[in-house]
Amino acid sequence: MDDTMRDRAVGAVLATACGDALGAGYEFGPPLGEDTLVEMRGGGPFGWSPGEWTDDTSMAIPILEAVARGDRFDDPRTLGRIVAEWSDWAQDAADVGAQTRAVFGRLAANTEDAARAAAASVHDETGRSAGNGSLMRTAPLALGFLGDGQKKQLALAARRVSDLTHHEEDAGDACVLWTVAIRHTVQKGSLDVRKGIPLLPRPRRARWLDLLDEAEQSNPVDFTDRNGWVVAALQAAVSAVTRGEDVVDVLELAVRGGADTDTVAAIAGGLAGARFGADALPARWTTLVHGWPGKRIDWLRKQADRAVARVA
């Protein structure tokens, strides 16, 4: 792996955290005009400090650490360890998504099977489970599958991790599409959000192609009223990444869409970071970014470096 590719891989992680922290102070707010300054101001409904990441990055961290250790995502023990870390984090987290919290409340044990059963139970009771909570945390998975011939393995892992909390197919599909897109962009330096379409079940491919077409022809604000839904969150992120001229532009566009700003910007950050690289992130952001478990962005960088060092 050359230095440019490594920078893109690390960028996928760091820009996720930057997008999350940038959007935190605007969460649940209205769309912002083009002339409105977007900054890491903190605050928001949960009183974040400036530069503090939210549950989006906090839930991505156990996945990143598993990738950095070289854990196998077809091993139930890996998934159980991630569930246990999430469950511990959620005990005193400032914010946990409603669907994810409901799943944790039904956990019979910190295992993959117990998590999947709890997620299915929540879905059966509510009739839906396609919130954006599994997509927001999925970016680090791509770093574990950058080797030749690992795209299908990545798709399987992305769906398996999504299913721990989100039973509905849309959530798993979105995670497959996003991680495969990040993998492609890290490897090639170019965007292709359709790269994962052949890895989806055949009956759902045409619908996703239409949704991606719609996203590229729209602005993030066009999805504001429903961007807590995983499909609309992905569409808003695609719109921002497609329109943004650089990583700052992408993340600001994502935040300007309003509503679930931290999550849309975190999702967009995964792909924008893969496109523009870690070195493109401005110091005014990277010097501020921090969060659970008492870490700063340099720690995230070290974990991402460990992950990509495993690529042959």
Chain-centre distance of CA 91, in angstroms?
A: 21
Using a pLDDT cut of 70, give the percent of the chain over it.
100
Q: Note whether 286 and 15 are within 8 A (CB).
A: no
- Top CATH class of 3-310 equals mainly alpha
Residue-level pLDDT at 312: 59
Residue-level pLDDT at 141: 99
Sequence-distant (6+) residues with CB within 8 A of 48 are: 21, 24, 25, 42, 54, 94
Q: Note whether 154 and 122 are within 8 A (CB).
A: no
Q: Nearest-CA neighbor of 255 among 56, 12, 8?
A: 56
**What is the arithmetic mean of pLDDT over 302-307?**
98
- Rounded to 10 degrees, the C-alpha dihedral 134/139/145/151 comes to 70
In 3-state terms, what secondary structure has residue 231? Answer: helix
* 3-state per-residue secondary structure call for 26-64: CCCECCCCCCCCCCCCCECCCCECCCECCHHHHHHHHHH
Q: Is the pTM of this model over 0.95?
A: yes
Question: Residue 152, Cβ neighbours under 10 Å: how many?
Answer: 12
C-alpha span between 305 and 300 (Å, rounded): 9
C-alpha span between 182 and 8 (Å, rounded): 9
Residue-level pLDDT at 128: 85
Q: Where are the domains of the chain?
A: 3-310
Using a pLDDT cut of 90, give the percent of the chain over it.
98
**What does the pLDDT look like over 257-283, one tens digit per residue?**
999 999 999 999 999 999 999 999 999
Give the DSSP H or E segment for 85.
Answer: helix 76-90
In 3-state terms, what secondary structure has residue 291? Answer: strand
**What is the arithmetic mean of pLDDT over 91-118?**
96
pLDDT at 126 over 80: yes
Assign 3-state DSSP to the chain and report helix, strand, coil percentages, each to 5.
65, 5, 35
**What is the arithmetic mean of pLDDT over 181-187?**
99
**What is the arithmetic mean of pLDDT over 123-148?**
96
Residue-level pLDDT at 82: 99
The two structure tokens encoding residue 292: 């659970």
**What does the pLDDT look like over 2-61, one tens digit per residue?**
999 999 999 999 999 999 999 999 999 999 999 999 999 999 999 999 999 999 999 999
Question: Residue 194, Cβ neighbours under 10 Å: how many?
Answer: 16
Give the least confident one: 53-57, 108-112, 276-280, 308-312: 308-312
Average pLDDT, the chain: 98
The two structure tokens encoding residue 95: 């914010």
Q: Nearest-CA neighbor of 292 among 66, 15, 86?
A: 86
The two structure tokens encoding residue 12: 């996928």
Chain-centre distance of CA 268, in angstroms?
A: 8
C-alpha span between 100 and 107 (Å, rounded): 11
